[in-house]
Amino acid sequence: MDEQHHAYFFGEVFKQLLIDYPELNTTENIMYVYDFIGKAVQLESEWAEYVLDGIEGIDLNEFKDYIKFIANKRFKLMGLEPAYSGVDNCMPWIRPFSDEALNDTKTDFFEAKSRTYAKASADNDWDDL
More confident residue, 111 or 48: 48
Contact predicate 1/114, CB 8 Å: yes
Euclidean distance between the first and final Cα of the chain, in Å? 18
- Give the 3-state secondary structure of residue 36: helix
- pLDDT, tens only, 27-60: 999 999 999 999 999 999 999 999 999 889 888 9
Q: How far apart are CA 102 and CA 96, in angstroms?
A: 8
Task: Give the domain ranges of the chain.
Answer: 3-107
Contact predicate 39/58, CB 8 Å: no
Specify the pLDDT at position 86: 86
Q: How far apart are CA 72 and CA 63, in angstroms?
A: 14
Indicate the average pLDDT of the chain.
79
pLDDT category at 15 given cuts 50, 70, 90 is confident
Q: What is the pTM of this model?
A: 0.65
CATH topology classification for 3-107:
Ribonucleotide Reductase, subunit A (1.10.620)
